[in-house]
Amino acid sequence: MLRWFQPLFALLSSALVTRGHGCPSSCLCPDQHTVDCTGKGLIRLPDPIPLDVRRLLLSNNWIPWIPSDFLVLYSDLVYLDLRNNSLSRLEPGTLSTSSRLVYLDLGSNNLTEIASGTFGESRSLIKLRLGNNPHLSTVGRDAFLGLTSLRELELERNALSGLDVGVLSQLPSLRTLRLEGNPWVCNCHFAKLFSWLTENQHKLPTGLEGMECSLPVVGRQVTLSVLSEDSFRECRGALSLTDYLIVIFSGISVSVVAIMASFFLASTVHCFQRWSKANKTDEEEADD
């Protein structure tokens, strides 16, 4: 219902508000498609923003919230800068509407989580900045699923202690990744991320030297460059629940195959025996 309503609302609003006119008071509109409200002490989104805005600069304000139909309404947005505001959460669906967005800066806010599906299928997005959110400790397994054009991802100086490597391997166009300044813990969960980072060091602007993690038990901080795959060798012995399930199921399928094979073999032998018996009887009959 809402899905249908939102585009309709956008259409109605665009019919009512004259497109391309009106600059929010206290903001600057240097050209027809740019609205610049940088550092204006705003505590909410400015009003009215022209519906055909393409570049919206809102950094260095106190904006705590963006409505979930924001990108439906401003569907021409290519560049959205919300750096250094007070965003603490993103309403589900806010950024998932198919859009033209190429650049999105949500750095230096107070986000705590990037949930799976946050960006939907934002296939145009090339640069996504999420660094300097000091309480950002959770990134969902599919948080960046569908961001097929994303080249630059910034997650530096957040509160991440671990990250599912699937989050990164889902990004086919990734060239630059910033992960430094997080409280990484080099435990067994980190092992897969470590191999990915080792293989993709060239994507890290500060390299493995620029990333630190704390070692479990001893709690000492080390840079990733002093570790090797071998540092995680103890993790290889430990099987996860999935591993156990795979082992059990492959055991079962091996048994099933073995049973079917012996059944097949048994029936072949049986057929052969009957056939040779029949042959023999024929021969005996012929002898008689």
Stretch that binds ligand NAG, among 80-88, 97-105, 205-213, 231-239 (CB under 6 A): 80-88
Q: Cβ 206 to ligand NAG, closest distance in Å?
A: 20
112 makes contact with ligand NAG (CB under 6 A):
yes
Q: Among residues 80 and 145, whose Cβ is nearest to ligand NAG?
A: 80
92 alpha carbon, distance to own chain's centre: 15
Q: What are phi and psi of 206, to 5 degrees?
A: -100, 5
138 makes contact with ligand NAG (CB under 6 A):
no
Q: Among residues 65 and 103, whose Cβ is nearest to ligand NAG?
A: 65
Q: Among residues 58 and 73, whose Cβ is nearest to ligand NAG?
A: 58
Provide DSSP, 105-137.
Answer: E--SS---EE-TTTTTT-TT--EEE----TT--
Which residues between 3 and 42 bind ligand NAG (CB under 6 A)?
A: 39
Which residues between 163 and 202 bind ligand NAG (CB under 6 A)?
A: none
Separation CA 102–CA 77 (nearest Å): 8
**Residue 48: cis peptide before it, omega within 30 degrees of 0:** yes
Q: Among residues 60 and 161, whose Cβ is nearest to ligand NAG?
A: 60
Provide DSSP, 187-205.
Answer: STTHHHHHHHHHHTGGG-T
- Indicate which single residue of 19, 21, 135, 274 sits in contact with ligand NAG (rule: CB under 6 A): 135
Stretch that binds ligand NAG, among 42-50, 68-76, 84-92, 153-161 (CB under 6 A): 84-92
The sign one gets for the Cα dihedral 219, 221, 227, 229 is positive
Q: Which long-range contacts (CB under 8 A, 24 or more apart) does 18-23 make?
A: 19/50, 19/51, 19/52, 20/50, 20/52, 21/50, 22/48, 22/50, 23/50
- Indicate which single residue of 84, 94, 97, 122 sits in contact with ligand NAG (rule: CB under 6 A): 84
Separation CA 249–CA 265 (nearest Å): 24
Separation CA 249–CA 14 (nearest Å): 58
Q: Cβ 83 to ligand NAG, closest distance in Å?
A: 8
Q: Cβ 103 to ligand NAG, closest distance in Å?
A: 18
Q: Among residues 85 and 97, whose Cβ is nearest to ligand NAG?
A: 85
Q: Among residues 135 and 274, whose Cβ is nearest to ligand NAG?
A: 135
Q: Among residues 99 and 158, whose Cβ is nearest to ligand NAG?
A: 158
Separation CA 247–CA 144 (nearest Å): 31
- CB of 120 within 8 A of CB of 97? yes
Q: Cβ 35 to ligand NAG, closest distance in Å?
A: 17
Q: Among residues 88 and 198, whose Cβ is nearest to ligand NAG?
A: 88
Helix, strand or coil, per DSSP, at residue 184: strand
Stretch that binds ligand NAG, among 12-20, 83-91, 145-153, 279-287 (CB under 6 A): 83-91
Which residues between 38 and 77 bind ligand NAG (CB under 6 A)?
A: 39, 60
- CB of 118 within 8 A of CB of 143? yes
Residues of this chain that interact with ligand NAG (CB under 6 A) are: 39, 60, 84, 86, 88, 110, 112, 135
